[in-house]
Chain A
């Protein structure tokens, strides 16, 4: 036995500091949950009078008349749906194409510049897109709309989509196009991640059987990535539904439900930002209520999307291991 009595039991500041540090970190993490819960609680409470008054007709009635305290938001729900659909129809093929380009086609030297293009697209603030949309794109598209209306307006059934364009071009269609440009980056980046997890052995197997590149993509890449791509599209949808400013500037600010894509309309987030400052009393509560509804559905879409993407990625990585 040695004579040095080495102490192994010093307690003191160290352990306490460790505990305090860990607790602070946990508190910061919990802040996320707290804020989300607070958002729901405080906005619902503020909007409650309108929910109580209108009940379900808040969402099913299309009469939005602040002057007579009638608040039916169906027109805005419709607007959100239409604009989101248009943007997805344009953005999804483009995003998939870009993602495929980056993972399968691009020569090494082009890869970094191409990624930069997408990053820059994502960095442009939505208000700048809205500015460009209202002052440049809408007037330019107006002529196109008129041409389309003249040629296709008479066709039965789909002709109603190509109705008389509203002056200036601010319409569902324009908002949808601008929105498409804005959601391309997020769909592209998730799709890239998904494509990157396709095992290279599958791709090699396709080539070894004599497939062309496109056949390889169809046979090896798409089947593996389907789940993840669904998630990517859902995330794009979530972003499209919540985009406020660019849509507010380009959608035309009219409260109506019409199949005419060239007509003006309004969407949930945009009507909030457009009417909020002049609103009072129950009108304000109604707008807040709209915000509650928007919050709930975007959270739902995002949660579902994340679950779909996570599960698809786990399945793919598991298959490789």
Chain B
């Protein structure tokens, strides 16, 4: 006959955990939370500074006047740079996005895991890491030396920077389209190209668009290639074959000047640029969230 033995009471409270372990855990948790703050603080500071200093100089005239031809002088506006940014970035987008989507179609619909496709995929990733100054040098050596500095050269450089980004993000979107949709289309007697264009592409279009907008936002902020291949102008220039100027270039030029008026212009241009980039980013997120591919 066994006698039931009641075990000694076990301490299940928090106090049972050794002090040292508790402290270490607490410190680690704090450090991790601190990390987020370290990222948050510069973001807040930059935004605050750009907005407050930019607003100081912002006005309708600032957005529509021509650029002063000497950094020492006060006044003037950024219209030529705004125009240049829109024209050059827009042209780059027109070149890079269709090519990028087509490249993504090859990678996901045809190439898949074949060796050539794997190489292209890896190289596209590598290409996203090529410094923008190198793209600028590339376009300088090929286009500018043959012709002249121009807005088009700037657009080409930006397109080279955008292409791999569009390819990879579009490929991800194509991958999300369920294979059953392709099978259904093929079973109805559609050819591969028609299946891709009428079923796969529409299904992925929202993700592709939002990815493209993010690539555009990044391209709009590029400075180094523009400095090298687009020269500078003070009046609005609509002809892409002529030199032009963009907001990032203006910021760069004005930032390194010792004159306070130049610095103020830089803040104004920065605010304008951030507004454009923010708009593109918000549109991208809106499209992505509203029209995302429904998971089946």
CB of B187 within 8 Å of the partner chain? no
Question: How far is A88 from B120 in the complex, measured between Cα atoms in Å?
Answer: 29
Check B110–A26 contact: CB distance below 8 A: yes
B192 touches A18 (CB 8 A): yes
CB-defined interface of A108-133 with B at 8 Å, one 1/0 digit per residue? 00000010011111011111111110
Instruction: Determine if B99 is an interface residue (Cβ-Cβ < 8 Å).
Output: yes
Size of interface on A: residues with Cβ below 8 Å to B: 88
**With A25-B103, A131-B251 in contact, is A17–B191 under 8 Å at CB?**
yes
Chain B interface, >50% SS class: helix
Within 8 A of A (CB), among B186-244: 191-193, 196, 214, 217-218, 220-224, 227-228
The yes or no answer to B160 lying at the interface (CB within 8 A) is yes
Please determine whether B119 and A125 come into contact, CB atoms closer than 8 angstroms. no
Q: How far is the CB of B58 from chain A (nearest CB, A)?
A: 15
Contacting pair A117 B39 (CB below 8 A): yes
Closest-by-CB residue of B relative to A96 is: B35
CA distance A302 to B263 in the complex (A): 36
Q: Does A230 contact B (CB under 8 A)?
A: no
Enumerate chain B residues within 8 angstroms of A125, measured Cβ to Cβ.
220-223, 248, 273-274, 277
- Give the residue of B29, B141, B228 whose beta carbon is less than 8 angstroms from that of A43: B141
Centre residue among B39, B117, B124, B221 by max chain A CB count within 10 A:
B39
CA distance A96 to B38 in the complex (A): 12
Set of chain A residues within 8 Å of B49, measured between Cβ atoms: 132, 136
Q: Please name the residue on chain B nearest to A99 by beta carbon.
A: B35
Q: In the assembled complex, which residues on chain A have CB atoms less than 8 Å from the CB atom of B110?
A: 22, 25-26
Docked-complex contact A32 and B134, CB < 8 angstroms: no
Q: Which residues of A contact B120 (CB under 8 A)?
A: 29-30, 32-33
Stretch at the interface among A143-151, A199-207, A255-263, A268-276: A268-276
Residues of chain A with a CB closer than 8 A to B3's CB: none
Residues of B within 8 A of A243 (CB): 131
A128 touches B273 (CB 8 A): yes
Give per-residue flags for B156-184: 1 if the beta carbon is below 8 A from chain A beta carbons, else 0: 00001001100100000000000000000
24 cross-chain CB contacts under 8 A: A17-B191, A22-B192, A29-B102, A29-B120, A32-B123, A32-B124, A32-B163, A33-B120, A36-B130, A38-B142, A39-B134, A95-B35, A97-B36, A117-B40, A120-B281, A123-B281, A130-B255, A184-B39, A242-B133, A269-B133, A273-B136, A276-B227, A302-B125, A306-B126
Chain A residues within 8 Å of B, Cβ to Cβ: 14-15, 17-18, 20-22, 24-33, 35-36, 38-39, 42-43, 45-46, 93-98, 100-101, 104-105, 114, 117-121, 123-132, 134-136, 181, 184, 188, 212-215, 217, 235, 238-239, 241-245, 248-249, 269, 272-273, 276-277, 287-288, 291, 294-295, 298-299, 301-303, 306
